Structure 1
Amino acid sequence: HRKVAAEAALQGGSSRRMPTMFNWEELMISKLLRRTFVAATIVAAASGFATASKAQSIADIAAKGTVTIGVLTGIPPYDTVDASGNTDGFLADMARDVAAALGTELQIVPVNNASRAAALESGRVDLLIAQMTATPERAKTFLMTNPYGAYEMRFIGLKDTKIEKLEDLAGKRVSVPKGSTQDVAVSGYGLDGLEVVRFDDDALAMQALISGQVDATAAVATVAQDTIKKRNLTDLEIKADVPIFTLYWSMAVRKDAAELHQWLNNFIYYQEVTGRINELHKKWVGVPVPGGKLPSF
């Protein structure tokens, strides 16, 4: 078309044909762009439908016949290993109750502080019962349920290590599980010389204290007390004068699992009012859930 228009112009033909030819070419390009846009819209819509079809529902879990639950390990007395080498304990019992209420089989996937979020995001597990606190930051990524348990976070150190006030941590090395709530808390103290040493889970953070790699660790008080008792670590103590915080554990599901999230809230409510949560907590930890009635949000 450009050639025809150029020859017409050289031969003295009407120059008004050139815009006509070029307009026709633009029309064809416009049609092509519209077709491309429509195709892209269809693909996007199909993609949207595909995403929507992956939204996790109770019916989806019932259809596959198994609920896969990530359970935090390495935090006795909340977890242990049975005679067959399988994960057991308070969290495992909670997972069993969830599966029973759903009417499905249960697959427990052991996770730690470092791997639990990725296990849920990737779809490796349907939900987490992994002692996650419902922080605003985590709520950006997951749907966090009402709490099913509570804990007191404390410092643990040698008896001759003076930690009577927060300032006593200046110049000390403190171990924490990487990405945990105690990691966030201790890292935010801003004390001169305080070094936060991160490990993949609570057990490794505690072992760092036992082996002398750090001066103290930040841990759940009941977990620390259980470790001290079972391993006869008479030179260690919980530093009760410097509480870190008392917080709560929530279950977690993916953002597209709103129905499952609501069902779990109902499940937790029922477990509490029937006394089942305290029953399981006393079975494994020796005492009821600290703090009395669990909050909801």
Structure 2
Amino acid sequence: MIRSFARHTMAVLGLVALLSTPFAAAQAQTTADIEKKGTVTIGVLTGIPPYDTVDASGNPDGFIVDLAREAAKALGVQLAVVPVNNASRAAALESGRVDFLIAHMTATPERAKTFLMTNPYGAYEMRFVAAKDMKLTSLDDLKGKRVSVPKGSTQDVAVSGYGIEGLEVVRFDDDALAMQALVSGQVDATAAVAAVANDVITKRSLDNLEVKNDLPIFTLYWSMATRKDATELHQWLNNFIYYAEITGKLDELHKKWIGIPTPGGKLPTF
């Protein structure tokens, strides 16, 4: 009886292992997986012109989409773009809706607990934007002010961590909504990428606003992100970024859409 029970138990465990193995394998994301299906699905951040825009047909375009096109070309597959914002990009990757993200994510230690973050593909300068007549040369000038940020962004973490008396951080789903809150007078200032803010100010003739360069927030870098088990894809993306930089492709695309080479000189690796 005991031997019969043991044999039955081992059979059940063996069946469980057999059924679970294909599932585990299906979760692994490799370049071979992508080549086999013939399409790479990339989540790209929207709402941050001039880094992104839309073409004549209303489809996403811009620096990030061009970079996604280059990645698909290097993989030898078709490209499927999935627009994401700051609030939805992590879920899109975790759920498997996308193979990886080119979504202007900074490789913070907290994000590295959840995703594999690549070497940076670009750099940006984070600055406050406010009315020209608003003094903003020190953190004390933020006392009693309302500042908009994209929810869960690096500027959200930075501004929320200042601990300034009376400073209210107002969160929105993406950069565009955070900027619009300033334009419409809902907040006193916003924290934004300088190139994005200057683009909005110029295109919309917002002559009353300016980027406050006297109080920089930080200069950081953007990385791509894969799921934790996608180690081979992660390494391939590092190689792709390295090659795009040394061949001048990254600077070429940055100049095309932003008007200047990638800020900060040579990109770091880690």
Task: Tell me what 2:149 maps to.
Answer: 176
3-state DSSP class of the match of 2:266?
A: coil
> Residues of 2 paired with 1:39 and 1:104: CA distance?
41
Structure 2: gaps (5+ residues): none
2:34 is the alignment partner of 1:56: no
1:203 aligns with 2:176: yes
- CA distance in structure 2 between the partners assigned to 1:245 and 1:82 by the alignment: 32
1:270 aligned partner, one-letter code: Y
Residue 166 of structure 1 corresponds to 139
Which letter maps to 1:78?
Answer: Y
Q: Choose the corresponding residue for 1:246, options 198, 203, 219.
A: 219
Equivalent residue pairs, number: 270
Residue type of the alignment partner of 1:71: V
**1:191 correspondence with 2:161:** no
Please state if 1:212 is matched with 2:196: no
1:23-46 C-alpha deviation (Å, 9 max, x unpaired): xxxx65x86377446524641464
The match for 2:86 among 109, 113, 118 is 113
Q: Select which of 235, 243, 254 maps to 2:208.
A: 235
1:126-173 CA-partner distances (Å, limit 9, x unpaired): 111110001111111111110000000000001121111011111110
Residues 1:91 and 2:64 are matched in the alignment = yes
Matched, 1:127 2:95: no
The code of the aligned residue for 1:184 comes to V
Question: Pick from 268, 275, 278: which aligns with 2:241?
Answer: 268
Amino acid aligned to 1:72? L
> Aligned runs of 1:14-25 on 2, under 5 Å?
none
CA distance in 2, matches of 1:228, 1:85: 23
Higher relative contact order (CA 8 A, sep 6+): 2
Q: Are residue 43 (structure 1) and residue 16 (structure 2) matched?
A: yes
TM-score (norm 1): 0.87
Q: Counterpart amino acid of 1:296?
A: T
Aligned mates of 1:53, 1:178 — CA distance in 2 = 32
- Residue 143 (structure 1) aligned with residue 99 (structure 2): no
Given the two structures, how large is their TM-score scaled by the length of structure 2? Answer: 0.96
TM-fit CA distance, 1:83: 0.5
Q: CA RMSD in A?
A: 1.5
Sequence identity percentage: 74
1:5 alignment counterpart:
none
Superposition deviation, residue 183 in structure 1: 0.4
